[in-house]
Chain A
């Protein structure tokens, strides 16, 4: 089969690879119909998340059809149209039984790297380096899904592929970010990042009761898209002092909750951003916490900062003093896909959320390298490129 592979830092290629097979009783083989690029893939492609090997298949946000099932699979049959969570969860450990699926104890078969870096290993993730288990990813014609009864959820009839695919990752990630905010109704929520996750976090915040949502970015097309599809307010951080603007918009209080949906390759303005770039380039810090800092400084006293952007290691100049003295609640984590997917598919089917517009660039699998280039460089209004191994299904 064909697959989009990592060929070294900044290099991608479509290569011929062996087909996957059933390896364990709970496995399913999924024929991929749609597989989205994701901002977190850029951290792998650019070498910021280590333990990639040449020839590894990328991709973790996808949907498709069940092609084959192992003998222990009970809920799926061949031909079912399913969306698959990017995080792999066994269903039997303490964390899975308490619905904290991204902390699964048994789904990362190569836990040593994560344990040395973070103290404990979280769950495995499809197509996300050998630090996350070394699983082959979904930018391919077929992919093996372990513990498929839990990880693959049937898609309601009538829901288009290009909407359903975002129930795999961007939408549950955004939902969890908004859920972290503990909204009761009427709050002001600021979201850093108008990418797919940021926009889904904004929509989730609206559905969970936020009275006002403000999205911060610098890409005009993305802010326009968020304003048009979600009815949110926007701040262009390249033109405006974000902290001043948020204080003014909230009569001096600051937002009740701040969602960081940017992650370790954040962009910014001014000397502190230059400092972050230099430190990251010299590997004196692994991540650029530009947006996290701003979110902490912006949040109101006693407010919440929800960090859902991906971070890998160490950051510098983290304003812990502000977090402590303002009594902020900090919440963070990889999303628990299996907890949210069924509920979100119902909401998609009911029309409460329509993420189909996020797919600005439906492409063939062969166009994957070009899709990532457009996505990374934010060219041609690219918010998400969704790869279709069979373009006729796009």
Chain B
């Protein structure tokens, strides 16, 4: 008797709680996506040399796929120079990949890849391997 009388109260409470949780999750997600993150990499070259190379910030913006805010500053002790970029969270992975590649290009003049190294694989297995290579290459800590 009690259950049927007050059942709608419990139902409405549960629905309101679910809506609140969903709203909070959505809000958190939207807020999170709006946030920007700062990523950095250390390059073993003097500040002046790196600053000169980084004058054209399109290098990083091109790699990331959108404008990025770049700052260059001396690294502590004998570590060389720190490059930092500020980017929205959606482009975080691209920014980390770009920083790693810029560091490699400055320090050793090339960005290594093992795509197309010889292996005994057919085209399908190689495509799957290349997808794995991409996952292991993109992002990460610069």
Contacts and interface: CB of A to CB of B under 8 A. Distances in A.
A135 B107 contact: no
B133 A130 contact: yes
A120 B141 contact: yes
A130 B141 CA distance: 17
Contact of B104 (A23, A72, A90, A131): A90
B120 A17 contact: yes
Given A53-B129, A124-B112, A110 B136 contact: yes
Interface in B98-129: 100, 103-104, 107-114, 116-121, 125, 129
Given A130-B136, A134-B133, A54 B110 contact: no
B121 A53 contact: yes
A271 interface: no
Interface residues on A, range: 35 or more
A92 B107 contact: yes
**Interface hub of A5, A105, A107, A147 (most chain B Cβ within 10 A):** A105
A26 B108 CA distance: 10
Given A53-B132, A112-B135, A130-B136, A3 B117 contact: no
Contact of A94 (B42, B117, B119, B121): B42
Nearest to A135: B114
11 contacts: A3-B118, A5-B120, A26-B110, A53-B119, A93-B108, A106-B108, A108-B112, A120-B141, A130-B136, A134-B136, A144-B117
Contacts of A112: 135-140
A55 interface: yes
B80 interface: yes
B28 interface: no
Nearest to B79: A94
A136 B114 contact: yes
B104 A106 contact: yes
Interface string A9-23: 000010111111001
A136 B117 contact: yes
A362 interface: no
Given A17-B118, A55-B121, A92 B80 contact: no
Nearest 8 interchain pairs by C-beta: A110-B136, A15-B120, A55-B121, A90-B108, A92-B108, A92-B107, A55-B120, A94-B44
A113 B140 CA distance: 9
Contacts of A309: none
A262 B100 CA distance: 34
A24 B118 contact: no
Given A24-B110, A51-B132, 8 more contacts: A5-B120, A92-B44, A92-B109, A94-B79, A109-B137, A111-B137, A136-B119, A147-B108
Interface of B: 42, 44, 78-80, 100, 103-104, 107-114, 116-121, 125, 129, 132-133, 135-141
B2 to A, nearest CB: 52
Nearest to B116: A23
A55 B109 contact: no
A161 interface: no
A363 to B, nearest CB: 20
Nearest to B140: A112
Contacts of B141: 115, 120
Given A90-B104, A109-B111, A115-B140, A135 B119 contact: no
B120 A113 contact: no
A128 to B, nearest CB: 11
Contacts of A55: 119-121, 125, 129
B39 to A, nearest CB: 14
A104 B107 CA distance: 11
A93 B110 contact: no
B112 A106 contact: yes
B50 to A, nearest CB: 13
B118 A94 contact: no
B114 A133 contact: yes
A265 interface: no
A85 interface: no
A71 to B, nearest CB: 12
A16 B120 contact: yes
B110 to A, nearest CB: 5
Contacts of A97: 44
A19 to B, nearest CB: 7
Contacts of B44: 92-94, 97
A19 B111 CA distance: 21
